[in-house]
Amino acid sequence: MFKHLFITLAMVVICSCATSSPSAPLSVRLDATSDASAKQSFERMLDQASGKKKQELAIAMFKLNMVGVKSAYEVVASPELQSLSITRIKDRVAGITADEIIDLANRMSEVKIEVQGK
């Protein structure tokens, strides 16, 4: 009985090691415990992202910052909106990955952004 249990446990451990690759990078999740940690984890997200994903993530951060803003007057009247950053929305995106931030922005924001290349 003990031998059968040991073999089963050993197989589970071996299978779990085989399915998780130590070289595969883990997706960075936004750490919103402080403004500094939010900025740092967002920078890591940007560093890990490819060129297109970086652009999508930056646009998503902008779109989420603009949720609820109805006019340009609000932007002019609010210094917080004049220099948008991850700290303004850190509680809304706490613990989620870059892909999840992009998805959230696409679902929540009515802001339309068109990127044109040269």
Q: What's the pLDDT at 24?
A: 41
For the chain, 118 residues long, give each residue's pLDDT as a single digit of tens. 444 444 544 444 454 444 444 434 568 899 999 999 999 999 999 999 988 999 999 999 999 999 998 888 998 998 888 888 899 999 999 999 999 999 999 999 877 777 777 6
Query: How much is the pLDDT for 49?
Result: 92
pLDDT attached to residue 1:
47
- Beta-carbon contacts of residue 82 (< 8 Å; ≥ 6 apart): 75, 76
Residue 117 has a pLDDT of: 74
Output the pTM of the full model: 0.72
Q: How high is the pLDDT of residue 115?
A: 76
- Which pair of structure tokens corresponds to residue 107? 């679902």
What's the CA gap between 105 and 64, in Å, rounded?
Answer: 5
> Which residues are CB-neighbours of 99 under 8 A, at least 6 positions away?
27
Alpha-carbon distances of 100 from 38, 64, 108, rounded to whole Å:
15, 12, 12
Look at residue 14 in the predicted model and tell me its pLDDT: 56
Instruction: Give whole-number Cα distances, 75 to 66, 67, 86, 88, 109, in Å.
Output: 9, 12, 16, 14, 16
